[in-house]
């Protein structure tokens, strides 16, 4: 029998225990032996829990027990999770985690630590929740060179944008509903609405695609706070939807570009029809072409099921899984990994008449003018040129309120 431990007993950690018990027979069949949770590490008081005997407040309890083969980390963040995971890997125990912040920040280091100590470090649930993305990427697509990744990887913002489109809700109204339903944090929803969650996820996918560590700090990141109902309606006029897109592009001559930003997505693009809390990631392989992974990106049991699947792989394969699942450490570059390409853009400005925008922004079309604001679609420009346009608008006494790049059809 394989004994495992869970660190952190919140939503996902409790889900892991539930999945292990409810699907014990099928898990045992796939792992080749029964899997049992022996310890749960959590500093809170669970003395009244039916499973009180499983709880400990000391990591040493886990590390001193030779029966523990795999440790599940669902604490979150890096303050405690990172040093705890390091100690587990250094002891030769495999670790399975859903912690995107830790993987995005320390992934290369922890992967190398796992390999050097004959253990596995697995993190399928860190990007797609219950939707498999990491494993297909390093196994099923192993014969492909992945040159581009584009995806909707945050279900909360996708739910909000869907509400804004379908029910003419403001950002604030959509956020309130997302918080009431438990999709967004009530105290600080910034990780979701400001794009930090999506940034960590694309950092992981980009690292796996290019083979070396991509730092979240180098990824230009914008969220959806500035999106209005008027912008959503304007996008519909342009046969587009507004989506928060996390993307990676290998670029030419090794000039990688990565970003997270709200974008105009043409209705002809598969990502335009991904609504509510669903996620979708499109990858471009040189042999296979485009492939899309679609499903719910969060939820207690879907995420826990992905973690438990990693536990099974860790028990069966151990460190051998890192023959394909790895990326190398890399020095942190200066500046941002910006996109040098030419794209169509949508800009919304205040304080400048729509009639002046063609002379300021170049060829394009006026989308609307109302309430002291005007929206304009630029036929083609680089990021640097859009910044120059914003400066020209400022000279005229106006202000650019929103900028959206248009994704390829």
Please list the active-site residues: 201
121 vs 110: CA distance, rounded Å: 7
3-state secondary structure of 107: helix
CA 5 vs CA 78, 214, 304, 391: distances in Å:
19, 30, 14, 56
Q: How far is CA 362 from CA 66, 384, 386, in A?
A: 68, 14, 10
3-class secondary-structure state, position 155: helix
The beta strand positions in 286-334, using DSSP E, are: 289-296
CA distance 280 to 64: 42
Taking the C-alpha atoms of residue 274 and residue 265, their distance in angstroms, rounded to an integer, is 11
CA dist 389 and 185 (Å) reads: 36
How far does Cα 133 stand from its chain's mean position?
11
8 Å CB contact between 216 and 107: no
The pair phi, psi for residue 266, each rounded to 5°, is -55, 145
């Amino acid at each position: 029998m394989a004994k495992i431990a869970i660190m952190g007993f919140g939503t996902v950690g409790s889900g892991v225990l539930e999945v292990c018990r409810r699907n014990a027979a099928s898990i045992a069949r796939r792992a080749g032996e029964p899997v049992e949770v022996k310890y749960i590490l959590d500093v809170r008081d669970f003395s009244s829990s039916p499973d009180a005997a499983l709880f400990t407040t000391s990591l040493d309890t886990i590390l001193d027990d030779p029966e523990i083969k795999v440790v599940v980390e669902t604490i979150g963040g890096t303050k405690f999770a990172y040093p705890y995971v390091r100690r587990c890997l250094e002891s030769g125990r495999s670790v399975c985690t859903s912690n995107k912040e830790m993987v995005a920040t320390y992934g290369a280091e922890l992967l190398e630590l796992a390999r050097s100590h004959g253990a596995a470090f697995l993190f399928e649930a860190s990007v797609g929740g219950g939707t498999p993305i990491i494993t297909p990427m390093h196994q099923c697509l192993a014969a492909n060179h992945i040159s581009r990744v584009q995806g909707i990887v945050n279900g909360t913002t996708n739910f909000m944008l869907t509400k804004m489109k379908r029910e003419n809700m403001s950002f604030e109204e959509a956020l309130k509903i997302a918080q009431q339903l438990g999709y967004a944090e009530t105290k600080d929803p910034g990780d979701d609405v400001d794009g930090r969650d999506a940034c960590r996820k694309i950092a992981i996918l980009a690292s796996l695609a290019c083979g070396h560590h991509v730092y979240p700090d180098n990824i230009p990141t914008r969220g959806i706070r500035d999106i209005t109902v008027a912008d959503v309606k304007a996008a519909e006029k342009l046969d587009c939807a507004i989506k928060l897109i996390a993307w990676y592009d290998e670029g030419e001559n090794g000039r990688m570009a990565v970003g997270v930003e709200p974008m105009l997505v043409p209705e002809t693009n598969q990502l335009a029809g991904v609504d509510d809390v669903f996620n979708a990631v499109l990858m471009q392989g040189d042999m296979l072409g485009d492939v899309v992974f679609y499903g719910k990106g969060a939820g207690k049991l879907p995420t826990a099921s992905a973690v438990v699947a990693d536990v099974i792989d860790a028990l069966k394969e151990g460190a051998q899984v890192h023959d394909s699942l790895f990326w190398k450490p890399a020095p942190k570059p200066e500046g941002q990994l910006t996109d040098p390409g030419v794209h169509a853009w949508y800009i919304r400005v205040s304080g400048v008449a729509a009639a002046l925008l063609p002379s300021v922004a170049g060829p394009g079309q006026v989308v609307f003018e109302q309430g002291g604001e005007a929206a304009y679609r630029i036929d083609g420009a680089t990021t640097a040129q859009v910044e120059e346009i914003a400066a020209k608008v400022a000279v005229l006494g106006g202000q650019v309120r929103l900028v959206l790049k248009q994704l390829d059809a």
